[in-house]
Amino acid sequence: MDKIGIIVDSDSPKSLAMAMNLGHTALASDTEVLVYFTFDGLTHLLEGEKDVSEIQALLDEGMPNPYDLLDAFVADGGDLVTTVACTTTLDMLAWDQEAIDDSLTTKFAGAATFLEAVEDADQVFSF
């Protein structure tokens, strides 16, 4: 089985959209996908409404909402999808794990755990 890793360290909805596009494409090819949300990227996993004003023009032109893509990615990906919330970032920012949406997060771990998990990945991408 093929495997890729994706690191999301930006809070931009556009970066999340690119990561989810790549993730969905990989799933369509039966490729395992590990997504590591760290630093500002961890905000995508927070519970609550998300600000998409930065990409509103793209949404108006028909681009799918990246948060809907993230929901579908986790819900439909099954065993091929792992989404990791960075515990080091949570600790540094003094955020409580309960603020993270459990429906989007399959694992809480640090960078060492992610690196070990993608050690046999074909490629690792960053957004």
Q: What are the boundaries of each domain within the chain? A: 3-126
Whole-number pLDDT of residue 44 = 97
β-partners of residue 81 are 33
Can you tell me the mean pLDDT for 76-81? 96
Residue 95 has pLDDT above 80, yes or no: yes
Whole-number pLDDT of residue 1 = 61
Whole-number pLDDT of residue 30 = 96
Average model confidence (pLDDT) across the chain:
96
Q: Is 46 exposed, middle or buried (0-12, 13-18, 19+ CB in 10 A)?
A: middle
CATH architecture of 3-126: 3-Layer(aba) Sandwich (3.40)
Per the CB < 8 A criterion, the answer to whether 3 and 31 are in contact is yes
Can you tell me the mean pLDDT for 81-97? 95
Q: Is 11 exposed, middle or buried (0-12, 13-18, 19+ CB in 10 A)?
A: middle
Per the CB < 8 A criterion, the answer to whether 24 and 51 are in contact is no
Structural tokens at position 11: 């809070």
Can you tell me the mean pLDDT for 19-26? 97
How does residue 111 score in pLDDT terms, banded at 50, 70 and 90? very high
